[in-house]
Structure 1
Amino acid sequence: MLCTRSVCLRRMAQGDWAAYMAYWRFVNNPQVTIDRLIEGWSRQTATVVAGRHVLAIQDTSEVKFQTRKGRRRGLGEVGKGNARGVLLHAMLAVDADSGACLGLTGGKVWTRRGKVKVPHDQRELADKESARWVTTAEQACDVLAAARMITVVNDREGEFFAHWALTPGDNVHLLTRAMHDHALADGSTLYQAVERARFCDKAMIDLPQRMDRRARQAQLSLRFGTAELKRPARPGVKGLPERVEVSFVEVVELYPPKGAEAVHWLLLTTHSIAKASDAWQIVSWYKQRWIIEQLFRSLKTQGLQIEDSQLESAQALIKLVAIATKAACIVIQLVQARNGGQQLPIECAFTPEEMKALAAINKTMKGRTKLQENPHPSETLAWAAWIIAKLGGWTGYASHRPPGPITFHNGMNRFQILVAGRALQTV
């Protein structure tokens, strides 16, 4: 997938019928389970998190596939209308200080099996799709056990009382954008508590580009405080604590540019906030959530084109999405590493045999001047990214346009051919 920038089995096989059949058998083999594939997501991540404060960022994306009446491919409904596909819930580990993507920690890929007749509020958490926010956080705690601190970061869909009650621990915090006007222990509501707080600071922040927004700066006004969330009076939460204390941070863009949607974030967290600088730190950590949107874009239209797959069965498509998610994560790591700002170990993305091949290739790339040599420490991800980018057609000069995802896909294509050639020499 990395080499061909595609999930099409025929394109990946590049005319080799035996390779095509091997790929097809793999995704259709019942012994290849989605649970084991997702378990493999985090194998390399666990090796690089020791001593770090890790942002464990999770979100869900709909992966839609073309179907028609009589050929639904076993896929359930997603989104609005008659769309069919699978749902991907993924969690990325990101260094809280540098923003470096450390890898995947866990998640879930599934397709819906008809409509649930029992109303949402009457079901236990384990019987709801929303349980994925809690179970994925539990997976992260195991994978990130060596981390100094973990902050689980959600978007609004993952903001519900059971998550607040079950996820936080000794070195595990929760940070999410508010979804509900929770009832509070003092008889008021969350929104009322926020309104009672005064705006106390202002700052200019950079907003990254998104599909619905250009990159721009925004002047935000800030206020913060604390609140005690009261346990809801509904089935499924009776065994949880009666109240959970959280801090809130609200940032509002009072004067947005003409035609632009104003920024308004109400963030809740279990981190304590004593002063304005603490609150701005919470905002900074939440801003890192955009990296998981990059993951989903790399998986879809701006990368691997996962939604173009023509595989016939839902189970094969679910497995293909899981494999492609890992590939998309590696591309993000390479793009981030190109500048060498965060020296991650090469084991984040490459196997021992690939590392040997990279070392051999690097020796052939030395130019006549220092500017044409790999400037990064050996056996770091930045060192490997420089080599892959050169294989993909990048000039190597810092003054030229930096390599992007397509360059890395092309470089990985050439690299894997060279790795295969080295393997043949030992046969």
Structure 2
Amino acid sequence: MSGSPQDPTRMPGRGVPRHLEDNVMEGRLALADREAWAESQFCDAELGDARRTKRLVTLAAMMAGNSSGSIPQQTGGGAAMKAAYRLFAADGVTHAAVCQPHFELTRQAASELPLVFLVQDTMVLNFTTHQSCQGLGPIGEGNGLRGLHQQNVLAVDPRTRRPLGLMYQKHHRRAERPKGSHANRTGRRALPLEQRESYWWIAAIRAIGRPPPGVRWVHVGDRGEDLFGVYDEARRQGTDWLIRVCQDRRILTPEGKDRLLRYARSLAPRMQQMVSIRRRGAGVPEDVTLCVSGGPVTLLPCREDAHYRHRDPICCWVIRVWEASPPPGAEPLEWILCTSLCCQSEEALGFAAQGYGLRWMIEEFHKCEKTGCQVEMRRLEHADRLEPLIGLLSVLAVCLLQLKFVARDQPQTPARDLFEEAMVEVMARYLDRPAKTLTTAEFWRGIGRLGGHPGRKGDGPIGWLRAWRGWQSFQLIMLGAHLSSPQGPERCG
């Protein structure tokens, strides 16, 4: 692939207007200039023919204008629609080829920061109702559902708590197995490592590899990633990890041998944190005081797993975050985490405990894919054709996720610095404000109002879904302004 992230001569975002060059990984670029965003994300895709790459860029710009629409809606039908279907049917158009430029841009961004969290999770894509699609695999537990398992790694800046982009994405198909075959843990451990579903997590860490000198990457995961192989692979790659515990492992402590959960719950609290949490089934979030404790442990390899029983033990820290005094009738909150980050100081312990909260970002990304981009509603004849389309939409989903940060980061910046002049003029008329003094925050409140955000003090910031709905409505207003004016704005976004 030309223009690797290690090439200092490569200028990311080729073809991007000068005032937007530093923002090729920001969601607002897809709003301010869809063509420039598409060029920045896909112009280096190697699809076996330069005409295919050009078509991919054109199609991405079309999809950015209507992320949830079908291909006929996004392209306007006719020749453009047929060209899109031909593109995804071409042999050289694979998921890896479509996504590689975005992966490289994300890797470059993650290499320029001292610390980056790499949040990993598996998402199930259900295509059961698309009965004519070939190449899918079973999902669920023997219920006849068909689809794909998508493994994602989302890079997040822990300082700004902003998503940088996807570092890795891969689709897996479960093999068809007779009912009861390798169903228990002993049976799964008898499989070769590469045939286990747990290998999906390990393969992602291995594919991402080592960070550049002076940079720390921290793999963050939920209980599904609590695997000795994950910790071992992260150690081999020189990366850190912060993962929620699922298994009650054998450990060594300063006092001797113990079990992980028992030891974690025996540690005295070292600090408290106030967090805002929405309990399961609750309508509104509430402020909760949580206790935090932590201590050093050594994880011992699993004796029953032949692949790991001879591996070296792993030194790390265990962190417990819990609610000491839950309200009556509420289940007490508790998280037990393992991390390679040193938590000797209270500051480091608090940072790690709060850092796990960034894992919610990938859940939001999954919503952007499924709701904002309607990934599961796509209809192509084979999974090999679906995958590159899903890859394109996943890059667009990152853009949707980043939208919620537009007004937060530069609220008082003049809207004209971030959006096209015609857009600012139309929004100013909608809000009955002077265009010259309209700020980014005011412009974005107008977008939120169009998307259904009430804008009251207690309503919180505008989320990505209402932001995108508002933007879609604003595009229709812009189209009306363009058609009703004899001169009209040169472009409508």
* TM-score between the two structures when normalised by the length of structure 1: 0.79
Q: Deviations over 1:6-63 (max 9, x none)?
A: 252122122x211111111122222111222332332322343313311111111111
Instruction: Tell whether 2:88 aligns with 1:27.
Output: yes
Secondary structure class of the residue paired with 2:144: coil
Structure 1 Cα separation of the partners of residues 209 and 313 of structure 2: 23
Instruction: Tell whether 2:73 aligns with 1:4.
Output: no
Structure 2 Cα separation of the partners of residues 128 and 321 of structure 1: 24
> Which deviates further from its counterpart, 316-325 or 406-415?
406-415
Where does structure 2 lack aligned partners over 5 or more consecutive residues? 1-62, 483-488
Shift of residue 168, structure 1, vs aligned partner? 3.1
> Which deviates further from its counterpart, 19-28 or 314-323?
314-323
Contact 2:251 2:258 in 1 (8 A): yes
Which residue in the other structure is 1:98 paired with? 160
Report 1:12-411 matches (<5 A): 12-14=74-76, 16-49=77-110, 50-67=112-129, 71=132, 73-80=134-141, 81-115=143-177, 119-141=187-209, 145=212, 148-168=215-235, 172-185=239-252, 186-207=256-277, 214-233=284-303, 234-238=305-309, 240=311, 242-258=312-328, 260-300=330-370, 302-340=371-409, 372-373=436-437, 375=439, 402=462, 404-410=467-473
Q: Given the superposition, is the C-alpha separation of residues 130 and 414 from structure 1 closer, same or farther in structure 2, using an over 3 Å criterion?
A: farther
Contact 1:248 1:266 in 2 (8 A): yes
Shift of residue 216, structure 1, vs aligned partner? 2.6
Structure 2 Cα separation of the partners of residues 416 and 44 of structure 1: 32
Shift of residue 278, structure 1, vs aligned partner? 2.2
Q: Given the superposition, is the C-alpha separation of residues 363 and 308 from structure 1 closer, same or farther in structure 2, using an over 3 Å criterion?
A: closer
Q: Given the superposition, is the C-alpha separation of residues 47 and 166 from structure 1 closer, same or farther in structure 2, using an over 3 Å criterion?
A: closer
Contact 2:451 2:468 in 1 (8 A): no
Contact 2:150 2:170 in 1 (8 A): yes
Q: Which amino acid aligns with 1:256?
A: P
Contact 1:89 1:108 in 2 (8 A): yes
Q: Which amino acid aligns with 2:381?
A: E
Identity of aligned residues (%): 20
Shift of residue 82, structure 1, vs aligned partner? 2.1
Contact 1:62 1:78 in 2 (8 A): yes
Structure 1 Cα separation of the partners of residues 308 and 243 of structure 2: 20
Q: Which amino acid aligns with 2:98?
A: L
Q: Which amino acid aligns with 2:159?
A: D
Q: Which amino acid aligns with 1:129?
A: E
Q: Which amino acid aligns with 2:403?
A: L
> Which deviates further from its counterpart, 308-317 or 251-260?
251-260
Structure 2 Cα separation of the partners of residues 407 and 147 of structure 1: 41
Structure 2 Cα separation of the partners of residues 406 and 211 of structure 1: 26
Secondary structure class of the residue paired with 1:404: helix
Structure 2 Cα separation of the partners of residues 359 and 284 of structure 1: 38
Secondary structure class of the residue paired with 2:307: coil
Q: Given the superposition, is the C-alpha separation of residues 303 and 404 from structure 1 closer, same or farther in structure 2, using an over 3 Å criterion?
A: same
Q: Which amino acid aligns with 1:235?
A: A
Contact 1:174 1:269 in 2 (8 A): yes
Q: Given the superposition, is the C-alpha separation of residues 262 and 272 from structure 1 closer, same or farther in structure 2, using an over 3 Å criterion?
A: same
Q: Deviations over 1:352-394 (max 9, x none)?
A: xxxx996665786796977754646xxxxx99x969959x889
> Which deviates further from its counterpart, 275-284 or 360-369?
360-369
Q: Given the superposition, is the C-alpha separation of residues 133 and 412 from structure 1 closer, same or farther in structure 2, using an over 3 Å criterion?
A: farther
Secondary structure class of the residue paired with 2:316: strand
Q: Deviations over 1:323-365 (max 9, x none)?
A: 221111011112222222599xxxxxxxxxxxx9966657867
Cα RMSD, aligned residues only: 4.0
Q: Given the superposition, is the C-alpha separation of residues 40 and 297 from structure 1 closer, same or farther in structure 2, using an over 3 Å criterion?
A: same
Q: Given the superposition, is the C-alpha separation of residues 198 and 357 from structure 1 closer, same or farther in structure 2, using an over 3 Å criterion?
A: closer
Contact 1:105 1:139 in 2 (8 A): no
Shift of residue 310, structure 1, vs aligned partner? 2.5
Q: Given the superposition, is the C-alpha separation of residues 11 and 369 from structure 1 closer, same or farther in structure 2, using an over 3 Å criterion?
A: closer
Shift of residue 72, structure 1, vs aligned partner? 6.0
Q: Which amino acid aligns with 2:94?
A: T
Number of positions where the alignment pairs a residue of Structure 1 with one of Structure 2: 399
Q: Which amino acid aligns with 1:201?
A: M
Contact 2:120 2:152 in 1 (8 A): yes
> Which deviates further from its counterpart, 198-207 or 95-104?
198-207
* TM-score between the two structures when normalised by the length of structure 2: 0.69
Secondary structure class of the residue paired with 1:271: coil
Structure 1 Cα separation of the partners of residues 156 and 261 of structure 2: 30
Contact 2:426 2:478 in 1 (8 A): no
Name the structure where helix makes up a greater proportion of residues: 2
Secondary structure class of the residue paired with 1:291: helix
Contact 2:424 2:435 in 1 (8 A): no
